Chain A
Amino acid sequence: MIPSPLTPLVRRITLHLADPARRPLPTITVHTRPTLRGWTFRAALLALVPLLLFTAAARTPGIPHSVTLTIAALATGLVVVHPTPTTAGGVIAVAAVLFWGFTSEPFDPWALAVALLAHLLARTTWWAAHVPPQGHAEIAALLTSWRRDLTVLAATALLGALAMLASGTTVQGAVLLAALAVVGLVLVALATDGSSRDDGRS
């Protein structure tokens, strides 16, 4: 048999792949409660981001499917590769724009589903930012504030119901009142006594 010029290369690659010295380092054994692997958060983001964007765009007429698909692909890639609260906030804003569609529709209860998915996306992104793919997170830690989240979502649903009831009526000066409320909220919320940290990665 005539040796091929690729034979030494193939042999080297085979030996390289079979080299036991290149196996990963041993792990530290830690006894914890049941955990989830860190990569599951990114896998969840892989499904959550398109779901949020497609849900937001589903009820808006006039958006080409290719545009939604492109935005979803870009946003998913960005959030999965760089899962930070900022990127998650950006994706939520994009979802809101898709939901809006620059149209003047009446109140759409579909917004509640979008709000639920947006909240879920923010939570999952926070976990993905704090647990690397090879890390672990206890399931009990994921569920530490489920009561608080349920309360927030219930309050959101209540607000949505009130907004839907009020959507058919016209109140004089409501826009000015709402604008003042937004400005007041900004002042209250951002008047912190300390500088905010980065995305949690020291």
Chain B
Amino acid sequence: MTVGGLIVARGRTSQGTPADGHHGWRPTSAYTAAIATGVLLLTTSLLAGRADIALIGIPGLLAATWAHTTRPTTPLRATLHEPPGTTTPGELAATLHLTTTPDTGPTADVIHLRITATGHRDTHLALTARATEDPAGSTTGRQVPLRLSSVRTGPQETFTVDLRGSRHRTWEEEPTQVRGATRLVLPGAAPLGRLPLPRRLRGLTGPHSSRRLGDGTELRDIHPFTPGDRLRRIDWRTTARRSPELDTLYVRRTYSTAEATAVLVVDSRDEVGPDIRTWRGYGTLRVDEPTSLDLARHAAASVATALVDAGDRVGLEDLARRRRPLPPAAGRRHLRRLVHGLALAHPKDPASLHRVRPPQLPADAIVYLFTTLLDDEPLHLVRTWHTMGHPVVVIDTLPDVRHVLEHHLAIAWRIARLEREDRITALDGEGAPVISWAGSRRDQATVRFEALARATQRHVPGRIP
């Protein structure tokens, strides 16, 4: 239908504004019920000749009639303010700003909210619309801080708020909705000690001492001067002690400095939670429990932070190959790039549809593989890398799986668990240590990393560096 030349459907124009120009305010059924009850009781009292019966309906009738005389005209305005940029797990928060402007006309006195978020219970609230005042005394509108209980990482949907204002329980506004944007939750980093490094170190500068002669701080030996030695390396005290006639000069030779290269390989082909029932793709993963991908992101961010803090070069590969690999580099800016890349790693297709090819790795790089070990692909990858001479550390990111009631699922998990244990045993036997990152075993990961770092730094007699 058309009203005043405007096309109106369901009481609204094509721009979405109320066609009656009253910002969607309507009398409620409470008003109708109060009037109907009051009139009914008045009529009854009239017929029965008893004024006291009418008195029972008078309060509702008076209140409804009084409230009906002041029709609200000002709409309730709501905006959702979210911190810009990325965030960290457990910090998904926003502030709902509710603005009622009583100066411009009657408006809502009570605000009804329904706040929803993925994986959370719906929250219903009835708030007073009275604005809060800041310390300076100026009115700032009503501000309602909101926070999610999610511990998940990666792109996360946030709040959806449906709200409606009411006035004197007689007028109600058309419901409106405000939505929060999708936020990127970056994985946090747990502090780690020393980490295992590759057997060979690369480059001429870096935080580590290599086995090669060169400029550095770690003394290798005292050696007679040879052509090519720098004059500033001559150790005059040793020369004076060993060769008082100065017929032979002695120099202090040092190990050169170098840096390690590590590649983080994240197996993001699948994402599973502690509940086996959700592994088939049905059901919803709980947001208050980290999934395998959350654990992988957290572990990889922790390893990357520890390596970058030590001055090493770190690269990133994603087995799902949704993003281009990040080549090894060092520095804080590169660390932010790594963490951002980890947050965006996400399964695209079912893991069974992927054909995994071993990523190309820089020479002499150590590989940190973050995987659930639920299929044989990681085992094949580790064997390929071992053949190419890369040391591999496998971080098991499967969450602690809960017991299930369904008999067929229990049997399936039992078989999968045994196969996983076989893979872990095979990896250990082939020199690829497996470190678990789930549950309470995460606390032991630091100790395992330290032990592995010591083992790789141990000088093996007879080994040519």
Contacts and interface: CB of A to CB of B under 8 A. Distances in A.
Interface in B145-166: 145-150, 159, 164, 166
A123 B169 contact: yes
Interface in B135-150: 144-150
A111 B55 contact: yes
A47 interface: no
A163 to B, nearest CB: 4
Given A28-B149, A155-B62, A200 B68 contact: no
B416 interface: no
A88 to B, nearest CB: 7
A137 B455 CA distance: 62
A116 B436 CA distance: 67
Interface string B408-444: 0000000000000000000000000000000000000
A172 B147 CA distance: 69
Interface string A88-115: 1100110111011010110111111011
Contact of A15 (B30, B64, B403): B403
B37 interface: yes
Contacts of A7: none
A21 B277 contact: yes
B17 interface: no
Contacts of B27: 192, 194, 196-197
A24 B121 contact: yes
B110 interface: yes
Counting chain B residues whose Cβ lies within 8 A of the other chain, the interface size class is: 35 or more
Interface in A175-202: 175, 178-179, 182, 185-186, 188-190, 192-200, 202
Interface stretch (B40-48, B225-233, B293-301, B314-322): B40-48
A15 B146 contact: no
Interface stretch (B73-81, B122-130, B213-221, B243-251): B122-130
Contacts of B35: 186, 189-190
Contacts of B277: 21
B193 interface: no
Contacts of B402: 20-21
A95 B56 contact: yes
Interface stretch (B111-119, B342-350, B380-388): B111-119
Given A92-B56, A131-B126, A27 B110 contact: no
Contacts of B175: 202
Given A28-B146, A196-B31, A115 B62 contact: no
A189 B68 CA distance: 8
B41 A104 contact: no
A96 B26 contact: no
Interface string A148-182: 11001101100110010011000000010011001
A121 to B, nearest CB: 10
A111 B52 contact: yes
B44 A122 contact: no
B242 interface: no
B42 A182 contact: yes
B179 interface: no
A155 B425 CA distance: 86
B162 to A, nearest CB: 8
Interface in B82-137: 109-112, 115, 117, 119-121, 123-128, 130
Contacts of B68: 189, 192
A19 B63 CA distance: 51
Which of B37, B40, B117, B148 has its CB near the most chain A CB atoms (within 10 A)?
B37
A97 B164 CA distance: 36
A94 to B, nearest CB: 11
Is the contact region of chain B dominated by helix, strand, or loop, or is it mixed?
mixed
B58 interface: yes
B286 interface: yes
A183 to B, nearest CB: 9
Which of A16, A132, A136 has its CB near the most chain B CB atoms (within 10 A)?
A136
Which of A16, A31, A122, A131 has its CB near the most chain B CB atoms (within 10 A)?
A122
Contact of A130 (B37, B56, B112, B121): B112
A135 B123 contact: yes
Given A115-B55, A148-B63, A153-B59, A30 B33 contact: no
A99 B56 contact: yes
A134 B53 contact: no
B158 to A, nearest CB: 10
B29 interface: yes
A28 B118 CA distance: 10
Contacts of A25: 119-121, 286
Contact of B53 (A12, A109, A111): A111
Contacts of A156: 55, 58-59, 62
B110 A144 contact: yes
B144 A30 contact: yes
Contacts of B166: 130, 200
B457 interface: no
Given A15-B403, A86-B29, A194-B26, A114 B121 contact: no
28 contacts: A21-B275, A28-B146, A28-B147, A31-B144, A31-B145, A86-B33, A89-B37, A92-B37, A92-B56, A92-B57, A97-B44, A99-B52, A107-B50, A130-B166, A135-B124, A135-B125, A135-B126, A144-B110, A144-B130, A145-B169, A152-B59, A166-B51, A182-B42, A189-B64, A195-B26, A197-B26, A199-B30, A200-B166
Given A99-B56, A138-B125, 15 more contacts: A21-B286, A25-B120, A26-B150, A85-B28, A107-B50, A118-B56, A132-B124, A141-B128, A152-B63, A156-B59, A160-B55, A182-B42, A189-B61, A199-B28, A200-B30
Q: Closest 8 CB pairs between A and B?
A: A135-B124, A111-B52, A85-B33, A26-B149, A89-B37, A119-B59, A85-B30, A137-B126
Interface of A: 12, 15-16, 19-21, 24-33, 35, 38, 56, 84-86, 88-89, 92-93, 95-97, 99-100, 102, 104-105, 107-112, 114-116, 118-119, 122-123, 126-127, 130-132, 134-138, 140-141, 144-145, 148-149, 152-153, 155-156, 159-160, 163, 166-167, 175, 178-179, 182, 185-186, 188-190, 192-200, 202
